[in-house]
Structure 1
Amino acid sequence: MRPLGALFLAALLTGATAPWPDEPSRTCFFQMLSGGDSFFCRGDLEVIYPELGDVSCSYIPKCHQYRERISREWGSPRVRYPQADKGANLRTGDIKGHVLTDYVRPTPPPRSGYHRYQLLLHEQPAHEAITLSPEERISLGSWAMESFVKQFRLGTPVASTQFLTKNHQD
């Protein structure tokens, strides 16, 4: 038997489906971040989108229109921190509280490569009200994070994570 015939027969015997050119692959691979990008991910902070699950420390794949759906359909992800000392809401991802800025979907421009979407979890000092100035409120999160952390004495993040995605057409 020739090698191609043996490969096809092996695929049939194992139940694998061969991705023919006119049939899109049903398999979707999630690639985890590596190197410096993975170093940013610490503390098991989870970012959960529908159908995708936890995207922490990973690339958003193009398959199943995930990149398009994350930037055009799905609302804010559920954010969980299972190691939270207090507050079951943070452990389950059903966070309730005062929203400083509304969620804005990831929308990287076409042909601009991968963009990082980072989440940092800081412990709020007891009895400290955190607010944004009117300028910060209308800036959609483009204010200086370092100044914000210093102003409210938030210190080092308890946990942090990120995911990378491209424009859905790339």
Structure 2
Amino acid sequence: MLEKRTGRMKVQVAVLLAMGLVGIAAWKSKTLQHSEFMETCDFEKLDGPDSEFCQGDLQVFYPELGDIGCTYIPKCHQYRKRITKEWRNPEIKYPQAEKNKNYVLIMADPDAPSRSEPKFRFWRHWLVIDIKGSDLRAGRLKGHVLTDYVRPTPPSRSGYHRYQFRLYEQPAYEAISLSPEEAASLGSWPLERFVEQFRLGSPVASTQFLTQHHND
């Protein structure tokens, strides 16, 4: 009889011990998740020549990040991974746009495949024409899309890439298009020649952000 009671007590102790271990594991998991959520995120502003590219008040909004103009995308909260794999095109806003004019938006990476060896510059990530100024002022990017939005995808170990946004005033009655060769490839795009061909002139506003591969 004593042996049976001893056996039952051992089983009860083992069950309680297992429950305690499960509780500790759950507590650690919740604590880890909480610490990750509470992790501070520093949004470092660009400086030097990189900051000089940012002209005017062109605003680029991604979820949770707000306006990322002239900043490094921080690694915390998996922001670099999410901008590459999850988030769709950002909201574009230009409060100074003239309501009765049309605009052209270009997003391009001049650092493909790397800033030290940009043999595929410019990599075209987005090209939209016929954007009404009234829509830009309201943050609604409507127009004729010549190149669908392509998420930033800097290769591993290629360092920081600049993702640049240029906004041009579109000349009246100018029929803007990509040649068949340009449309067939996103890389090695002659951006300057495109701008000159369609008489776009200098950007009325421009901004950029820098990011790198999310595992680097």
TM-score by length of 1: 0.84
SS in 1 for 2:178: coil
> Structure 1: how far apart are the matches of 2:173 and 2:42?
45
**What does residue 53 of structure 2 align with?**
40
> Structure 2: how far apart are the matches of 1:140 and 1:169?
24
Equivalent AA in structure 2 for residue 72 of structure 1: K
**Percent identity between the two aligned chains:** 68
Structure with more helix by fraction: 2
Q: Deviations over 1:51-94 (max 9, x none)?
A: 11111000000000000000000111111111111122111221
Task: Say whether the 8 Å CA contact 1:42–1:160 is kept in structure 2.
Answer: yes
The count of aligned residue pairs is 150
> Structure 2: how far apart are the matches of 1:100 and 1:60?
27
**Superposed displacement of residue 132, structure 1:** 0.5
RMSD of the TM alignment (CA)? 1.6
- Whether 1:90 aligns to 2:103 is no
Mapping for residues 13-162 of structure 1, pairs under 5 Å: 23-24=35-36, 26-86=39-99, 87-140=133-186, 142-162=188-208
Structure with more strand by fraction: 2
TM-score by length of 2: 0.66
**Superposed displacement of residue 142, structure 1:** 3.5
Distance 1:141 1:101, change over 3 A: farther
Q: Which has the higher contact order (CA 8 A, sep 6+)?
A: 1
Q: Deviations over 1:94-114 (max 9, x none)?
A: 111110111111011111110
Choose 1 or 2 for highest CA Rg.
2
